[in-house]
């Protein structure tokens, strides 16, 4: 099971065997030969040959790939005999309960494959207890294996409800640095919420919302989409505690932006989740605007109804100016211009807004450059800026207009005729 370290007594015994019998191979390779011989003895030649075809035996001898090969061997063996599955499962659980570090990873790899075998009720509690411990392992591979096992178990109705005690540990893994760990955690949590009929305790819901909020903007499309959908399911099951409402309120703007996402699946999921979020917050005014697809009226209402948070919304929109999606950058510029109406009296925020709009005049997209200059001209004009600064903006805008007349003739931008005079 382990090739990382050979116990001293085994090493001594093996050296004696080599001296007496002239064995040239190392003990791990001899163990593989012995395993093959045993499989042939019990008429499981197809297991040996299948492992050969998949280069499983060689993979078994490498420390880096050892546990993958153990999993492959388990997949081949689980079809042979239910009696074997039961006997080996008992042995593996005993090994894992002893915390033998050299054996834990391959033992878990073998056990996870056997979880595909039906009727595991007999070991259900022991397996879940062991999985809970391994979810907190420092080994990334061990965390992955534990999550793979939970993905299998969560599909079993008899196990599903028994997994509710793992929600806290699972939520903690959403902050893991490993995207594979996050992805599998999202799958397990989504399955538990959708099919487990779990009521989410307020502390867990609060932790879940806090962990999902950053993932709404994740660059990995799959993780982003799964996070948005899980956020929606959480809103259906959670209670409207004050602290949770604060986090849900912070999610409104990211969801609004991703309603304009170039990925149709992300845009649709964001709109549905935004509708669930405003319903959770009991904001009937916003709920009506989202349901009727008046998204810019939604943005204006969001800013107007809570002017105290206009500066916060402005800052929350800034990262979208750096989005690789031109559409999201455009929406961010428009939103910042809209927010400018509500931060006129706040000198610090107003200066920040002018600075970022001026920077966006250098955007790679001429359409966004023009929109940023137009927006900056309007907000500075409203603030009665020095005429020299406004003239500078007019000249900058005119140069862009002359270099890209198609932007205006095509109707992509609506700019005042006074700017061209």
Query: What pLDDT, in 10s, does the model give residues 285-337?
Result: 999 999 999 999 999 999 988 888 888 999 999 999 999 999 999 999 999 98
Banded model confidence at residue 198, pLDDT cuts 50, 70, 90: low
| Average pLDDT of the segment spanning 10-16 | 82
pTM given for the model: 0.81
Residue ranges covered by each domain of the chain: 1-114
Task: Give the residue with greater pLDDT, 329 vs 346.
Answer: 329
Find, among 179, 183, 181, 190, the residue nearest to 155 by Cα: 190
Banded model confidence at residue 419, pLDDT cuts 50, 70, 90: very low
Lookup: tokens for 336: 């910042």
Does residue 391 have a pLDDT over 50? yes
| Average pLDDT of the segment spanning 351-361 | 88
User: How far from chain centre, in Å, is Cα 211?
Assistant: 10
pLDDT for the residue 346? 77
Tell me the average pLDDT of the chain: 83
């Amino acid at each position: 099971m382990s090739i990382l370290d050979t116990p001293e007594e085994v090493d001594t015994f093996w050296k004696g065997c080599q001296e007496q019998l002239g064995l040239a191979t190392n003990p791990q390779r001899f163990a593989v030969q012995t395993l093959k011989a045993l499989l042939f003895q019990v008429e499981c030649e197809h297991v040996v040959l299948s492992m050969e075809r998949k280069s499983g035996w060689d993979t078994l001898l490498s420390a880096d790939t050892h546990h993958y090969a153990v999993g492959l061997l388990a997949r081949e063996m689980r079809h042979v005999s239910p009696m074997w599955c039961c006997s080996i499962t008992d042995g593996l659980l005993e090994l894992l309960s002893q915390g033998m570090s050299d054996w834990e990873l391959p033992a878990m790899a073998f056990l996870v494959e056997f979880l595909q075998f039906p009727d595991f009720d007999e070991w259900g509690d022991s397996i879940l207890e062991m999985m809970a411990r391994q979810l907190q392992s420092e080994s990334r591979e061990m965390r992955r294996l534990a999550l793979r096992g939970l993905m299998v178990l969560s599909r079993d109705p008899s196990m599903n409800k028994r997994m509710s005690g793992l929600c806290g540990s699972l939520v903690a893994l959403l902050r893991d640095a490993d995207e594979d760990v996050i992805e599998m955690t999202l799958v397990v949590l989504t399955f538990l919420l959708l099919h487990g009929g779990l009521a989410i305790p307020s502390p867990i819901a609060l932790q879940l919302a806090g962990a999902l909020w950053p993932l709404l903007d994740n660059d990995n499309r799959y993780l982003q989409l799964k996070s948005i959908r899980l956020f929606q399911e959480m809103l259906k099951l959670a209670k409207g505690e004050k602290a949770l409402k604060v986090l849900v309120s912070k999610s409104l703007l990211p969801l609004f932006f991703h309603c304009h996402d170039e990925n149709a699946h992300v845009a649709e999921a964001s709109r549905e989740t935004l509708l669930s979020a405003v319903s959770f917050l009991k904001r009937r005014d916003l709920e009506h605007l989202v349901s009727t697809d008046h998204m810019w009226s939604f943005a204006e209402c969001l800013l107007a109804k809570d002017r105290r948070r206009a500066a916060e919304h402005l800052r929350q929109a800034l990262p979208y100016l750096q989005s690789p999606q031109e559409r999201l950058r455009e929406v961010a510029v428009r939103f910042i211009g809209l927010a400018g109406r509500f931060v006129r009296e706040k000198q610090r925020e107003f200066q920040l807004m002018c600075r970022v709009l001026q920077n966006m005049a250098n955007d790679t997209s001429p359409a966004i450059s023009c929109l940023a200059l137009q927006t900056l001209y309007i907000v500075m004009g409203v603030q009665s800026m020095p005429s020299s600064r406004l003239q500078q903006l007019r000249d900058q805008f005119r140069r862009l207009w002359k270099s890209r007349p198609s932007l205006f003739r095509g109707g992509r931008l609506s700019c005042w005729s006074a700017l061209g005079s």
